[in-house]
A and B are shown apart, each in its own frame.
Chain A
Amino acid sequence: MSESCNSRHFSWLMKSCFPNPHDGNCKSSIRASATRNHHFHHHRQSQSLTTSATTLSSLPDDLLLECFVRVPSDSLSTLCFVCRRWSRLLHSPSFFNLRRHQNRLHNTVYALTPSASGFIASTLTFEPLDYTIFAWNTRIYVPTDYVFLGNLYEYLPQSRLASIGPRIFVIGRYATLRYDIWTDSIISLSRMLAPRKKFACAVVSGRIYIAGGSMCAAATVDEYDPDSNKWRVVSRAPRLRYGCTGASADGVFYVIGGLKIDGPPTGAADAQMYMSSMDLYDVEARVWLRSRAVPGGGCVIAACAAMGFIYVLTSHAVEMSFWRFDARRRHGGFGEWSRMKTPQLAQPVRLDGSIKFSLVGVGNKVMLALMKNGRVLRASDERFVWIYDTVAGDWSCGPDLPEYIPRATCVNLESTQRKKARKRVATQEFAEGDLETRSSSSRLQEFFSSLFAGIGGVFSQTREPEMASRAVLPQNQLKGEVKQKNVLADGRGRRVLQDIGNFVTERAPQGKKSITEVVNAAVGKEKSKVIDKPKKPESVIVISSDDESDESKPVNRKISRKEPNKSFTSVLTARSKAACGLINKPKDLISDIDVTDIDNELAVVEYVDDIYKFYKLTEDEGRVHDYMDAQPEINAKMRSILVDWLTEVHRKFELMPETLYLTVHIVDRFLSKETIQRKELQLVGISAMLIACKYEEIWAPEVNDFVRISDSAYLREQVLAAEKAILRKLEWHLTVPTPYVFLVRYIKASVTSDKEYPTIVLHCPSMIAASAVYAARCTLNKNPFWTETLKHHTGYSEDQLRNCAKLLVKFHSAAAESKLKAVYKKFSSLDCGAVALLKPAKSLLS
């Protein structure tokens, strides 16, 4: 996930289309070896390894670090795989210190909640320098190591978090997990020596220290070394504390607060002493320093370290106080307490089992999160966040934690990684999705817990929240499409659709009702079944009438609908079919592919044939001639680079598939009408995608997102100007049949759910789509390759398609070796069924 699509890569590829005059001999020979066949490549590599070790590789650590510090964060994750030494250096504290020194670190607070299959992580990113914050982003992480899959939920709730470099360690009673934000992977590590819960945990100079907690092991302080993946006992604790908090500053591990669990039960005063004091362990000297008592005698409810101070929040029966302990040991004031401003809570908080405070030090800020689980008290949930500015000494409100985070453990991670624009889009979607179900917002949490209750189909789970938030998207889109079609049809005086248009308006209210119905039904269902199987996406997504609907049908929900009686529409449909001579085929050979959708209005079975007939009629209008000869500065290679990059951007923004097709279509049509300079090609791509997004998406990315994803290669104004220019050139004619619309239909006819689509512009869209289905059937060895049903719906015979399909298969087999990987990568991933990894249908080529 963390690969980037920054435009340096893009511009670099553009340059690669031309020989670089500055290239020395050595470089070009490497390039030659890289592009030649694999065997040769290997040969050369082994040769170079044995013969020469360059001076660069033998640089001392400090110089290498100096170089690494300057590498953009996107590349760091790759570099740590080069060799052990590099990996060690990149994960070393000194690397992060250097990086921090250069203000190249971002503080991100991770609020983690374990679920049955992984984590729900909400992140709050603080910009460097000014610590600007936006909203919480939420993601679900699934461990790649499945050993603990079933146990996570059980073992991790009382776990503690620690962050070292780019890694978060989740330390639970029976399991230790490590999440690496560079590689985006979760693996399990060796667990603590003896199980404990509610212990104190902190990181001191790259190692994790734990103390206190329940059960027998609490008497010791244990150390975890991430390099060797080993735990060991380093000391015995002077006091046994249960439910204590850990913090570290200046080489000292602080074990703060907690209940007394050692020795015979003594008076209340003794217990109070435990709750309002802290033990200090000097890690380097391996000695315990004098314990300190928090002034005021309140019991500690949260603590953290920031800027060399320890901040402690204590509670006295009804009110709270906030203290600062000077932990800078080489500083005169070590050990001094000062009372700081108390956060102004909206109402007095009663401390009980339902409430949880979490303090996190973030650079020179301290974040206080309050999580109140309303279900215990049958009250509303509260998840407030306040930010304390240690410089200004004042509190301010932060963005509330997302509602679906029932109870999180927070940790601050100083990351070098900067997740780009995509994240903000994702948040937006979440917020909107939330809005849709606002009426039952308190149930959202249950919805999520039921989502995660079931195991299996891990990858689909990671996508489900997205589905939920997009629940209304396909309908709206379909509606919008029909409506726009109408407008355009009127404008261009197309009679065919005008007729149908009447029925669209007639049916519109009904369709609208069904949308709310669908949403309510979906929500209601979740309401009633708290611990149900994971919500099947198809119950909502079915309306899109794309390839998924075939499989989803058997488990489809029952929403009572009237039977398809003989409506005016169906009469008309029958008539128009008869007029076109569509019925004179032998009926038994052509299976009715719409029979399963007969009670789904959104599949518009009555006139779906007409729609596609119309598409076929108009597809020639938008067809593009070969424009490469007319373009002085652009060649086919560059177009493919652009498309490749757009695919990557498209995936980054998580857009609808229609958008990509439309984008490519707009680019092609624009380029066939206008000659442009090479440097403007990417601009055209961006603007085309912007237009396509506005056309297809419900929540289109903003212009600034596009500017950012292209690494600010163009100004906002330029993008907007290009957008206008393109629209003017295309005469605002954007409702076009792209290969995608045919593909969904033909795939439905083919009843296979896989797709692959290198785009060939010279053929007409329906031909490409038909060939793609044909090629896919060949690839999967579905006999017979071409059926009468398909022939009927596509209007092409097997012989007509063979040439085009051959071309496609050729693209497919070449894709693996090609330099432009975005499309290949997209379809290699599991959620796309890894179709790109299938063997190309060689039989077709011979």
Chain B
Amino acid sequence: MASSSSSSSCSSSSEKKITLKSSDGEALNVEKNVALEFEPAKGFLEDNSEEADDEAIVVPLPNVSAAVLSELIPYVKQRLELSAKPVQKKLIKAFDDQFTRHLSDDKLGELMLAANYLGVNYLLDVLCDVTADRIKNKSVEYVREFLGIQNDFTPEEEAELRAQCPWAFEGVDQD
């Protein structure tokens, strides 16, 4: 829903800049149409729309770090440009692939949290797909190691599980 509202406003207010303040106190200047993609920012702007000068508005985003924001902003910007044009889905997909391909798992998680908080649903979709892709067809051991998940089954339970279905532990893919 965020994307539909912004695509209409993108042509008119693309020059206006908004300042976003990240959790670690850094201020980032973004175009208004990009900022409108972020739901907390959108709500904030709507609440403070009586102020004449957009430049003066500083939107606090206390849950997102500057590092993550600086990755998000170019993505959202390009994605907006893409979706403004009548391009095929293939191109958007290629663009998404390119964006996610080099993400580390930590980054993936951070971005997902940020996208969830900011309500960028299309990005969340893409990130979830990538995560699903990375954990599928893997052995239990591998997923635990890969995601750094603490195995909280007791040794007895673990042994039982292993006995039940040894194939789950034998590693479908190692890598």
Query: Chain A interface (Cβ within 8 Å of chain B)?
Result: 3, 8-9, 12, 16, 22, 24, 26-27, 30-31, 34-35, 44-45, 48-49, 52-60, 62-63, 66-72, 74-75, 77-79, 81-86, 144, 183-185, 187, 819, 821, 825
Residue with the highest number of chain B CB atoms closer than 10 Å, among A31, A45, A74, A78: A78
Given A27-B175, A72-B136, A83-B151, A59 and B106 touching (CB < 8 A)? no
Q: In whole angstroms, what is the CA distance A52 to B150 when docked?
A: 10
On whether the beta carbons of B135 and A79 are closer than 8 Å, the reply is yes
On whether the beta carbons of B144 and A819 are closer than 8 Å, the reply is no
B32 within 8 A of A: no
B116 within 8 A of A: yes
> What are 21 contact pairs spanning A and B, CB under 8 A?
A30-B146, A34-B142, A35-B174, A44-B145, A49-B144, A55-B109, A56-B131, A57-B148, A62-B116, A66-B128, A71-B136, A72-B137, A75-B137, A78-B172, A79-B143, A81-B140, A81-B165, A82-B143, A82-B149, A83-B150, A144-B163
Nearest Cβ on chain B to A87's Cβ, whole angstroms: 9
On whether the beta carbons of A84 and B112 are closer than 8 Å, the reply is no
B: contact size bracket: 35 or more
On whether the beta carbons of A83 and B153 are closer than 8 Å, the reply is yes
Residues of A within 8 A of B132 (CB): 67-71
Residues of A within 8 A of B105 (CB): 54-56
Nearest Cβ on chain A to B164's Cβ, whole angstroms: 5
On whether the beta carbons of B170 and A825 are closer than 8 Å, the reply is yes
Residues of A within 8 A of B148 (CB): 48-49, 52-54, 57
B154 closest partner in A (C-beta): A84
B165 closest partner in A (C-beta): A183
Residues of A within 8 A of B138 (CB): 75, 78
Residues of A within 8 A of B139 (CB): 78
Residues of B within 8 A of A3 (CB): 167, 172
On whether the beta carbons of A31 and B136 are closer than 8 Å, the reply is no
On whether the beta carbons of A9 and B175 are closer than 8 Å, the reply is no
Residues of B within 8 A of A30 (CB): 145-146, 175
B124 closest partner in A (C-beta): A66
Nearest Cβ on chain A to B105's Cβ, whole angstroms: 5
Residues of A within 8 A of B81 (CB): none
Residues of B within 8 A of A821 (CB): 170
B156 within 8 A of A: no
On whether the beta carbons of A9 and B173 are closer than 8 Å, the reply is yes
B101 within 8 A of A: yes
B173 closest partner in A (C-beta): A12
Residues of A within 8 A of B136 (CB): 71-72, 74-75
Q: Which residue of A31, A56, A71, A78 contacts B168 across the interface (Cβ within 8 Å)?
A: A78
Given A63-B112, A70-B132, A185-B165, A82 and B140 touching (CB < 8 A)? yes
B129 within 8 A of A: yes
On whether the beta carbons of A63 and B173 are closer than 8 Å, the reply is no
A183 closest partner in B (C-beta): B165
B161 within 8 A of A: yes
Q: In whole angstroms, what is the CA distance A754 to B97 when docked?
A: 50
Q: In whole angstroms, what is the CA distance A438 to B14 when docked?
A: 77
Q: Which residue of A24, A27, A53, A78 contacts B140 across the interface (Cβ within 8 Å)?
A: A78
B116 closest partner in A (C-beta): A63
B134 closest partner in A (C-beta): A56
Residues of A within 8 A of B135 (CB): 67, 71, 75, 79
Q: Which residue of B101, B129, B143 contacts A70 across the interface (Cβ within 8 Å)?
A: B129
Residues of A within 8 A of B107 (CB): 55
Residue with the highest number of chain A CB atoms closer than 10 Å, among B109, B135, B175: B175
Q: In whole angstroms, what is the CA distance A56 to B104 when docked?
A: 10
Q: In whole angstroms, what is the CA distance A57 to B106 when docked?
A: 9
B169 within 8 A of A: yes
Residues of B within 8 A of A52 (CB): 148
B141 within 8 A of A: yes
B84 within 8 A of A: no
Residues of B within 8 A of A84 (CB): 152-153
Q: In whole angstroms, what is the CA distance A22 to B142 when docked?
A: 20
Q: In whole angstroms, what is the CA distance A77 to B136 when docked?
A: 10
On whether the beta carbons of B150 and A49 are closer than 8 Å, the reply is yes
Q: In whole angstroms, what is the CA distance A66 to B108 when docked?
A: 14
Given A26-B104, A68-B132, A825-B170, A53 and B150 touching (CB < 8 A)? yes
Q: In whole angstroms, what is the CA distance A151 to B165 when docked?
A: 25
B113 within 8 A of A: yes
On whether the beta carbons of A81 and B161 are closer than 8 Å, the reply is yes
Residues of B within 8 A of A16 (CB): 175
Residues of B within 8 A of A22 (CB): 101-102
On whether the beta carbons of A81 and B174 are closer than 8 Å, the reply is no
Indicate with 1 or 0, residue by residue over B104-125, a CB within 8 angstroms of chain A CB atoms: 1111111011001000000010
On whether the beta carbons of A83 and B152 are closer than 8 Å, the reply is yes
Nearest Cβ on chain B to A76's Cβ, whole angstroms: 9
B94 within 8 A of A: no
B147 within 8 A of A: yes
Q: In whole angstroms, what is the CA distance A86 to B138 when docked?
A: 15
On whether the beta carbons of A63 and B113 are closer than 8 Å, the reply is yes
Q: In whole angstroms, what is the CA distance A84 to B108 when docked?
A: 23
On whether the beta carbons of B165 and A56 are closer than 8 Å, the reply is no
Residue with the highest number of chain A CB atoms closer than 10 Å, among B104, B105, B142, B168: B168
A8 closest partner in B (C-beta): B137
A187 closest partner in B (C-beta): B164
Known: A27-B175, A48-B145, A66-B124. 9 other contacts (CB 8 A): A3-B172, A30-B145, A30-B175, A53-B149, A53-B150, A56-B106, A67-B128, A184-B165, A185-B165
Residues of B within 8 A of A12 (CB): 137, 173
On whether the beta carbons of A54 and B137 are closer than 8 Å, the reply is no
Residues of B within 8 A of A63 (CB): 112-113, 116, 124, 128
Across the A-B interface, give the 5 residue pairs with the lowest CB-CB distance, nearest first: A55-B109, A70-B132, A56-B109, A75-B136, A67-B131
Q: In whole angstroms, what is the CA distance A86 to B150 when docked?
A: 11
Residues of A within 8 A of B146 (CB): 30
Nearest Cβ on chain A to B15's Cβ, whole angstroms: 35
On whether the beta carbons of A83 and B149 are closer than 8 Å, the reply is yes
Nearest Cβ on chain A to B130's Cβ, whole angstroms: 9
Q: In whole angstroms, what is the CA distance A124 to B150 when docked?
A: 39
On whether the beta carbons of A185 and B112 are closer than 8 Å, the reply is no
Q: In whole angstroms, what is the CA distance A105 to B140 when docked?
A: 24
Given A63-B113, A63-B116, A185-B165, A57 and B147 touching (CB < 8 A)? yes
On whether the beta carbons of B143 and A31 are closer than 8 Å, the reply is no
On whether the beta carbons of A59 and B165 are closer than 8 Å, the reply is no
Q: In whole angstroms, what is the CA distance A36 to B11 when docked?
A: 57
On whether the beta carbons of A185 and B145 are closer than 8 Å, the reply is no
Q: Which residue of B140, B147, B170 contacts A56 across the interface (Cβ within 8 Å)?
A: B147
On whether the beta carbons of A54 and B106 are closer than 8 Å, the reply is yes
Q: Which residue of B106, B141, B167, B173 contacts A45 across the interface (Cβ within 8 Å)?
A: B141
Residues of B within 8 A of A83 (CB): 144, 149-153
On whether the beta carbons of A9 and B172 are closer than 8 Å, the reply is yes
Nearest Cβ on chain B to A471's Cβ, whole angstroms: 31
Nearest Cβ on chain A to B121's Cβ, whole angstroms: 10
A72 closest partner in B (C-beta): B136
Question: Which residues of B73-97 have CB atoms within 8 Å of chain A's CB atoms?
Answer: none
Q: In whole angstroms, what is the CA distance A694 to B164 when docked?
A: 36
B160 closest partner in A (C-beta): A187
B149 closest partner in A (C-beta): A57
Residues of B within 8 A of A819 (CB): 174
On whether the beta carbons of B175 and A31 are closer than 8 Å, the reply is yes
Residue with the highest number of chain B CB atoms closer than 10 Å, among A53, A66, A183: A66
Residues of B within 8 A of A85 (CB): 152
Residues of B within 8 A of A31 (CB): 174-175
Given A56-B131, A67-B128, A45 and B137 touching (CB < 8 A)? no
Residues of B within 8 A of A54 (CB): 105-106, 109, 147-148
Q: In whole angstroms, what is the CA distance A825 to B166 when docked?
A: 10
Q: Which residue of B131, B133, B169, B173 contacts A81 across the interface (Cβ within 8 Å)?
A: B169
Q: In whole angstroms, what is the CA distance A825 to B167 when docked?
A: 9
Q: In whole angstroms, what is the CA distance A68 to B143 when docked?
A: 13
